[in-house]
Amino acid sequence: MASILIIDDRPEDLLTLERTLGADHRLRLATSLQQALQPTAGEPHADLILLQATMAAPDRHPFVGDLPPGAAIAGTPVIVISSGDRADDETWLERGADDCLPRPLRPALVAARVRLQLELQAARKRLLDQDRSLAAEVERRLADNLMIQDVSIRALARLAEVRDPETGDHLRRTQRYVRTLAEELGSHRRFAAFLTPANTELLAKSAPLHDIGKVGIRDEILLKPGRLTAEEREIMKAHSLLGFQAIQQAEQDSEQPVDFLQMAKEITRSHHEKWDGSGYPDGLAGDEIPIAARLMALADVFDALIAARVYKRPFPFEQAGRMIREGRGSHFDPDIVDAFVAREADFMAIACDNARARPLVAGERQAVAAATPAAGRKPGGSR
């Protein structure tokens, strides 16, 4: 049964409406707008309102929709019981009434108009329920796609880790370094338009793929304990293009654009470019280098400096930090170096948070202990 609210103080109207509608619907009668706005406790929300036109207000035209927000009848379809004057009926319809019933009320017409409005209201509710269900399904599928995306990224990144156990820890640390830099630069005038929350997430997701091209480098070069020859160095440099080409192929194979692949391509290809144009593989300089790759460049070099590798001993944090600062304006974007300086304590904490990271020496332990509280934040050149 539908619930119908009747706002009418004419006995002849009420008698007709009760006889016509009472058997099939729940009726609630109100003889004033004030009474209509104070439903009985537990009374269901009205599915339809029948409103006597002359009861709305002295000038007859203010509509129920003009009542204060939160009124129980707001948003419910309204049929106005009118005098039958066509001009008045048009005015009510212009003000938002759903239909008009002229006097004298005729039972067959009343039943037909009420049935039509209830069917329309039920159809609107079904559409709303379908919209909500569709939105929930879209959200679920989006969550599934994001989970698959994350798993795929981790699986790809582990390919590099399988070839070189040191690389796995490097990927995890650099991902956190990059996020730290992005958070610091999120409000910077040069970076704010790019480093939106969404792009920062994509950047953090894509960062572990920056060295994926190393799977294509021979073990005798990738794991060589000593210095590389000039020829070997050129082969090692090829990892940036190998990674770029692999991700580009994956992008071409997808049926639609994938945002994180575009960013991963930029990072993979250009994270060895230098601010002064002396990097590789394309010799890009300054703002020609994608922002994502500029962030990755600093994170990559810092971790390479402080990490023990088969071909080098780790640098102390203080020395590594000094080398990063010395690269301001030559190797690195100056503003990104400034962001590193602002969050240097966080970089140190991230490095030491990894189980395989080298232990701190006494001076470094004191530096982390002294700097981290002052930072007020939790911690979120390579070959």
Task: Please tell me the distance from the alpha carbon of residue 52 to that of residue 84, in angstroms, as a whole number.
Answer: 12
Fold match between domain 2-127 and domain 164-375? no
Radius of gyration, CA atoms only, the chain: 35
Question: The pTM is what?
Answer: 0.60
Give the model confidence (pLDDT) of 169-213 as tens digits.
788 899 999 999 999 999 999 999 999 999 999 899 889 889 889
Give CB contacts under 8 A, 24+ apart, made by 161-168.
162/215, 163/214, 163/215, 163/217, 163/219, 163/222, 164/214, 164/222, 164/223, 166/307, 166/308, 166/309, 166/310, 167/211, 167/214
CA dihedral in degrees (46, 48, 53, 57; nearest 10)?
30
Per-residue pLDDT averaged across 320-347, rounded? Answer: 97
More confident residue, 126 or 84: 126
Number of alpha carbons in the 13 Å side-chain half-sphere of residue 135: 6
Q: What is the pLDDT of residue 338?
A: 98
164-375: in CATH 1.10.3210.10? yes
Tell me the CA end-to-end span of the chain in Å, nearest whole number.
Answer: 76
Residues 6+ apart with CB under 8 A from 233: none
Q: What is the pLDDT of residue 174?
A: 92
Structural domain boundaries in the chain: 2-127, 164-375
**pLDDT exceeds cutoff 50 at 141:** yes
2-127: in CATH 3.40.50.460? no
For residue 41, name the pLDDT band (cuts at 50, 70, 90).
low
Task: Please tell me the distance from the alpha carbon of residue 208 to that of residue 217, in angstroms, as a whole number.
Answer: 17
